[in-house]
Amino acid sequence: MLKGRSSRADRRKQAVIAGALQDHIIRNVPQLHSSSLPSLPSTRLLHTHTRRHGDDDDGDDELEFVLDSTPPPLTLAQKLGLVAAPGCSRRLSVDEWTEVKSRSLRNGDSTQPCSICTEEFCLQPQVLLSCSHVFHQVCLRKVERFSGRKCCPLCRTEQYETRVIHDGARLYREKCALRIQAWWRGCVTRKCYRDMRKVVPPNDPQLRHTFFQLKFQELNDSLVQSFSSDVDSFLRDLDHSVAQSRDVFQLFDLLHSSSSGVQEEEWMKAQEKAIQREARDCPICLTPLSGARSCTPVVLLSCSHLFHQSCLRASEHFCQEGGATCPLCRRHYVSMPLYDLAH
């Protein structure tokens, strides 16, 4: 009878062991766990909060906290001693997290790329493991989902704790600030150098010659721009002055020069012939010689023909090469302006 009781106790013990091992296997294999047991909500409790000096209370950019701080409950097999319990059965304290972070900073893990994706941390969220290794938070989640267990990809530490840190983002912002400052200092230095090149001559003889040549050219351009540069107006005024001088000298030669051979009596005879001819229109432009509509001076030629002064001047300019002749009788002439023409 005692033998039967012992056999039943052994079978009961073996059944408990088998159930405990089966439960342990189901809980540690994610595929079996998801198919046989209902999914339990994950518990994520804030363990420690550390803020940097000078940060706002409503900003979460520099907030450091522990993810999944509560360790998973022990299975029946672990409680019975059939399976070894995980090493990380208790949560790390604040001082222990400080020591882990100091060790990570000494190793320079935040300055190195992520060991999973081999990319820089930049501004992406990063996590610090209790084994002092640093990874992207997204990369670590993908590794945990792929492997089905919490195991550090570098040191193979199981059941680690993760803490969200921002050392990589802080270092990236400092690096960007240094690059911006270096770029700005370079721009200021280049501008100062260009301004200095405009004032200080170089030591090289050829460059020095070019420097002073450009300086003299700039000085010349500034002097030219300071004066009136209307050349067309200047030339028009010059032509008008020459024309007036020509008329004055021509009148002086006609009245006072004896070399012309035309005396005052001959001019009177030529004027009488012009009056007898009763010429009313200019033979060149066919417009009235005098009247309300005509304001052009009239000239009398030594051949007694009358023309507008401007028309005769145009004819002289046209026949300048062969000598000026009367447009009507083709004889050389001497002209005299008429200021009072009576018809």
3-state helix, strand, coil in the chain (%, to 5): 50, 10, 40
Tokens 């820089």 correspond to: 120
% of the chain surpassing 70 pLDDT = 72
Query: Do residue 125 and residue 266 come from a single domain?
Result: no
Confidence of residue 188 (pLDDT cuts 50, 70, 90): very high
On whether residue 61 sits in a domain, the answer given is: yes
On whether residue 290 sits in a domain, the answer given is: yes
Q: Would you say residue 28 has pLDDT above 50?
A: yes
How far is it, in rounded angstroms, from Cα 270 to Cα 307?
Answer: 13
Query: Do residue 279 and residue 149 come from a single domain?
Result: no
How far is it, in rounded angstroms, from Cα 196 to Cα 198?
Answer: 5
Query: Do residue 268 and residue 146 come from a single domain?
Result: no
Last residue of a domain, which of 105, 139, 172? 172
On whether residue 204 sits in a domain, the answer given is: no
On whether residue 208 sits in a domain, the answer given is: no
Confidence of residue 186 (pLDDT cuts 50, 70, 90): very high
The pLDDT assigned to 177 comes to 92
On whether residue 266 sits in a domain, the answer given is: yes
On whether residue 214 sits in a domain, the answer given is: no
Average pLDDT, the chain: 75
The pLDDT assigned to 34 comes to 47
Number of domains in the chain: 2
pLDDT tens digits, 158-173: 778 888 888 888 888 8
On whether residue 178 sits in a domain, the answer given is: no
The pLDDT assigned to 274 comes to 84
On whether residue 118 sits in a domain, the answer given is: yes
Last residue of a domain, which of 172, 203, 231? 172
The pLDDT assigned to 69 comes to 52
Query: Do residue 14 and residue 138 come from a single domain?
Result: yes
Last residue of a domain, which of 152, 172, 192? 172
Q: Which helix (H) or strand (E) holds 314?
A: helix 309-318
The pLDDT assigned to 101 comes to 85
The pLDDT assigned to 227 comes to 66
Which CATH number fits the domain that encloses residue 314? 3.30.40.10
Task: Determine the structural domain holding residue 330 and report its residue range.
Answer: 249-338
pLDDT tens digits, 209-241: 888 888 888 888 877 776 656 677 777 887 877
Q: Would you say residue 322 has pLDDT above 60?
A: no
